[in-house]
Structure 1
Amino acid sequence: MRIEANLFNIPVAFFLVAGTVYGYFTDWSEWVGFLAIYLTGAMFLMVGVYFKMLEKRHGQRAEDREDAEISEDAGEQGVFAPWSWWPLVCGLGAALAFTAMAVGWWIMVPAAIVGVIGLVGWVFEFSRGQHAH
């Protein structure tokens, strides 16, 4: 995970410098610009810190080592929801929410209803039906 962490941590310095330069050239009077650049750097930093935490928790992976064998990563890689339609419902709720911000706030009510239904369905997907555990 070290490579992934550095891939996200290195741009943090760029966005810090770019935000400072932008603020300097606008005499710190245009708040949206330099704050947006700083917040972009903060988003990169959050992902980089998360990858560093994963590296500490799980140690080195086979793909991080030069002497690793392909067979070390064989086997089950995780649990994935087969044939799940719930991410599509959650995406529809998110699309409606973004539409509400652009068109009218009244659309946020159906967006929240669709989003909650999609989220509850996705969370409890393995609790009943064909793939119940």
Structure 2
Amino acid sequence: MKSEAWIFGVTSIFLVLVTPGYWLITSAGDTGGDWTGTSALAMTTLLAAMVTFYLGFHARRMDPRPEDRQDGEIADGAGELGFFPPYSWWPLWCASAIGVIVFSVAMAAWWLLIIGAVLGAIALMGLVFEYYRGLHAH
């Protein structure tokens, strides 16, 4: 994880240098500056620094992974990598229900909001309990 910490560290340093420059360039005009862009860059700087400290903290306390060692081989990383779920239709139905809810709010059709909320609850339950029944049950 040291390589990832270095990548985010370099990104943090870059953003620390760019953010004041952006603020100076945008505040030179008559508009008074672009506070939205400056705030976004400042928050991005803080986020990158937070990830840098997290990765650096854990990189010191854990055993090096095969990709972090100089003598690491591809075979050292062999084995089970995790659980990767198969295809699922439930995210499509969840997104469709959210689409119905957003459309109902935009059109002020509150009756449609109730229908979208019910469909969304059903779709969310299907997504959560997908691996408890059917073809992919555990």
TM-score by length of 2: 0.64
> Residue 14 of structure 1 corresponds to which residue in structure 2?
14
Task: Tell me the secondary structure at the aligned position of residue 21 of structure 1.
Answer: helix
> How many Å apart are 1:128 and its aligned residue?
2.6
Deviates more, 1:67-76 or 1:113-122: 113-122
Name the CA distance, whole Å, in 2 between partners of 1:64 and 1:79: 23
Give the percent of matched residue pairs that are identical in Structure 1 and Structure 2.
Answer: 37
> Which aligned pairs between 1:25-64 and structure 2 lie closer than 5 A?
25=25, 26=27, 29-56=33-60, 58-64=62-68
> How many Å apart are 1:78 and its aligned residue?
0.3
Query: What is the aligned-residue RMSD (CA, Å)?
Result: 3.7
Q: 2:13 corresponds to which letter in structure 1?
A: A
Unaligned runs of 5+ in 2: none
TM-score by length of 1: 0.66
Unaligned runs of 5+ in 1: none
1:125 correspondence with 2:138: no
> How many Å apart are 1:29 and its aligned residue?
4.1
Aligned residues: 128
